[in-house]
Amino acid sequence: MSKPPTLKMDAKSTFMLLVLAAMWGGSFFLGELALREVPPLTITLHRVMWALPFLASIAVYNKTPLPRSPRIWGAYLVMGALNNALPFSLIFWGQTQIESGLASILNATTAMFAAVVAGLLLRDEPLTAKKIIGATLGIAGVAFIMGPSALTEFNPSNLAQLAILGATLSYAFAGVWGKTALASQPPLMNALGMLIGSTALMIPIVLIFDGRPSVDLSATTWAALLGLATVSTALAYVLYFAILARAGAANLLLVTLLIPAVAIGLGVLFLGEDMGFEAWIGFAIIALGFAVTDGRLFSALSRTSKGKAHTG
């Protein structure tokens, strides 16, 4: 029996991860541009709807089979809600009240919350002490960013930050749902299926709350919407699954810490945003929480210290 391929971060995997971070980090910047003319729910519809034909063409090219089971399509509807419709809408609404860079920092808690949710709901991913500590540090980082005023004052900025956290929890539950309900399906079909599900959900929601979407938009807005759909969604999913197969889930999670760097950089350069001192300290605490949850950094430091002790 041949050994399975070793999953590692070689130069190509690292480059792919950086590109994925640029794609997803850029979504916060593109969302900020689109929000100048388009409401949040409609942006979400544009993002998932225009990604559909692009991803469908890739699926057809790869001869990816369509599932026939109504149960699978029902699972795609739930996955579309948890991984696209709800979190995208919450993030875009949050960006109407806070900077894109700050939204990306709060979004960085996704990996820690996902580890805890999986630990509570999945038998093969038990809740460990490091997951609890990591999540606690993540919450501490968020609390530092929001400040004590969050307990005494209720303003749109605080509500927006809570909306971003709601999006991260939705992503966490989506991960569990995908593993339990869609593990038997091809990854590319899962991405396409959830986009079909989220598009089906968003069309009536947008018509009810925002009305018929306008096509009379500036070239900049159309470019932002199409960039969100094709680059930050369709292409990003293809690259996501390619990295997953090449480097594994643990290495793929590193993108969580790279996304804010891209989003903050674009916000500072092109949107005139300025991250406060609290945001940077909070991000450092969140990054520490991720390192604890991931565990590899501390394992490497432990091995290094033991090696020095043996040679000393």
Query: Which pTM value belongs to this model?
Result: 0.92
Helix-helix angle 40-61:86-94, to 10 degrees: 140
Q: Locate the domains of the chain by residue range.
A: 15-311
Q: Find how far residue 201's CA is from the centre of its chain.
A: 19
Q: b vs e for 219-237, b when ≥16 Cβ sit within 10 Å of the residue's Cβ?
A: eebeebbbbbbbbbbbbbb
- 265-285 pLDDT, tens digit per residue, is 999 999 999 888 889 999 999
**Portion of the chain with pLDDT greater than 90, in percent:** 76
Q: How far apart are CA 101 and CA 113, in angstroms?
A: 20
> What are the Cα distances from residue 167, in Å, to 82, 104, 188, 220?
9, 11, 23, 26
- 29-69 pLDDT, tens digit per residue, is 999 999 999 999 999 999 999 999 999 999 999 999 999 99
Confidence (pLDDT) at 7: 63
Sorting pLDDT into bands at 50, 70 and 90, what band is 3? Answer: very low
